[in-house]
Amino acid sequence: MKIAVLPGDGISQEIVPHAVEVLRALPGLGDKFEFEEAVIGGAALDLVGNALPDETLALARQADAILLGAVGTPRYEALARRGRPGTGLLRLRKELGLYANLRPARIYPVLIDASPIKADIVSSVDVLVIRELTGDLYFGEPRGRVNNEPGQRECINTMRYTEAEIVRIARAGFEAARGRRHKLCSVDKANVFETMAMWREIVNEVATEYPDVELRHLFVDAAAMALIRDPGQFDVMVTTNLFGDILSDVTAALTGSIGLMPSASLGGGSKGLYEPIHGSAPDIAGKNIANPLGMILSAAMMLRHSFDLPEAAARIEAAVEQVLNAGLRTADIAKPGESTVGTKQMGEAVVAAVRG
């Protein structure tokens, strides 16, 4: 089991090693993983002037799975698009054909108070957002500045989807719903955009293959509101690249902290890219206060989706729940006045719990 480890920027350097340690600590499995590291994002721009160096892409292609921290360095954000750290991540997703991004959000009973939403509303949250990851405004052409004259600047991005792209992500949504509570909500903006009307049309066609799954549609604005007012109604949501980016931050906020949220990006096969959904958080980098749990839970998703090791995945998830139940809190999930632990202490506690 060869794992490409791409730490990235900001807090990544602090959280990624804990995910690796947790995998190494798995009894009977830990020594079967082979890890190889490469640079991406701002770290790669610093080193070789390219946010996704050829060697990194080659390693990612060759590995069975990829574990990634987060990318983004403020001093690069002013650069042209091609020179930004995030472009490296977007290219990696696209080059590997990882079109389905799974972002599960669940509530830990002991953390209900960490949510900004009232306990009775949020206690039932158990939702999986499936975000299309290689199409839409993120990759549509034409794009860019068409006029740079002062006073007349003009810029274009293109919302574009093909039938094949919608069919495969819709299937991913229905299949996931089958493995859960058999409810799928497709989120679009079919009342305004032709692309989105076609999305809905095609999702309805795919639905005929899944009569056992209850399908409904929501416009993205209504979906955002429903996620706050009554999140318990959702099982699986399937949506576009841009809407999924936004709605998965909403579901993260429901759970109390984006620092808890893992993700898996999958294509046709077993290869996947596993990263927490939070960013590189440069403001708290190097301070030993970042929450490593979203990163560690991403490693659990890797075991489940790339290596078909659901029991090992469950062991990591149970270890995370155990340290939370024991009262360990990083700053992002602590109540006012509650004592906190650092990144290191939280990571080490999960490692110990995984060892058992």
Supply the minimum distance, in Å, between the C-beta of residue 318 and ligand IPM. Answer: 26
- With CA atoms as reference, report the closest residue to 240 among 270, 280, 198, 179: 198
Rounded-to-integer distance, Cα 158 and Cα 194, Å: 12
Number of residues that bind Mg ion (CB under 5 A): 1
Rounded-to-integer distance, Cα 265 and Cα 96, Å: 10
Supply the minimum distance, in Å, between the C-beta of residue 245 and Mg ion. Answer: 4
- With CA atoms as reference, report the closest residue to 172 among 66, 246, 89, 268: 268
Task: Note whether 51 binds ligand IPM by CB under 6 A.
Answer: no
Task: Note whether 90 binds ligand IPM by CB under 6 A.
Answer: yes
DSSP-derived letter for residue 38 is: -
Active site residue 249: yes
Region at 10 (left for phi over 0; alpha for psi -120 to 50; beta for the rest): left
Q: Closest CB to ligand IPM among 91 and 217?
A: 91
Active site residue 245: yes
Rounded-to-integer distance, Cα 101 and Cα 130, Å: 5
Q: Is the dihedral of CA 246, 134, 314, 340 positive or negative?
A: negative
Active site residue 183: no
Q: Which of 21, 132, 245, 275 binds Mg ion (CB under 5 A)?
A: 245
Active site residue 332: no
- Segment lying near Mg ion (by CB under 5 A), choices 71-79, 118-126, 237-245, 336-344: 237-245
Rounded-to-integer distance, Cα 250 and Cα 171, Å: 24
Active site residue 161: no
Name which of residues 236 to 255 contact ligand IPM (CB under 6 A).
245
Residue 90 interface partner, choices Mg ion, ligand IPM, none, CB cut-off 5-8 Å depending on type: ligand IPM
Q: Closest CB to ligand IPM among 86 and 292?
A: 86
DSSP-derived letter for residue 332 is: G
Q: Which among 76, 138, 210, 274 is annotated as catalytic?
A: 138
Task: Note whether 86 binds ligand IPM by CB under 6 A.
Answer: yes
Count CB atoms within 10 A of the CB of residue 115: 21
Supply the minimum distance, in Å, between the C-beta of residue 56 and ligand IPM. Answer: 16
Task: Note whether 277 binds ligand IPM by CB under 6 A.
Answer: yes
Contact 42, 76 (CB under 8 A): yes
Going through 240-301 in order, the beta strands assigned E by DSSP cover 264-266, 272-274
- Segment lying near ligand IPM (by CB under 6 A), choices 6-14, 85-93, 169-177, 288-296: 85-93
> Which tokens belong to 233?
């109604």
Q: Which among 221, 230, 287, 308 is annotated as catalytic?
A: 221
Cis bond before residue 211 (omega within 30° of 0): no
Q: Closest CB to ligand IPM among 93 and 304?
A: 93
Q: What is the dihedral of CA 184, 234, 335, 70, to 10 degrees?
A: 20
Residue 89 interface partner, choices ligand IPM, Mg ion, none, CB cut-off 5-8 Å depending on type: ligand IPM
Q: Closest CB to ligand IPM among 262 and 292?
A: 262
Supply the minimum distance, in Å, between the C-beta of residue 74 and Mg ion. Answer: 16
Supply the minimum distance, in Å, between the C-beta of residue 85 and ligand IPM. Answer: 8
Supply the minimum distance, in Å, between the C-beta of residue 71 and ligand IPM. Answer: 6
Residue 86 interface partner, choices ligand IPM, Mg ion, none, CB cut-off 5-8 Å depending on type: ligand IPM
Q: Cβ neighbours of residue 351 under 8 Å, at least 6 residues apart?
A: 18, 21, 22, 25
Active site members: 138, 189, 221, 245, 249
Binding site for ligand IPM (CB under 6 A): 72, 86, 89-90, 245, 277
Binding site for Mg ion (CB under 5 A): 245
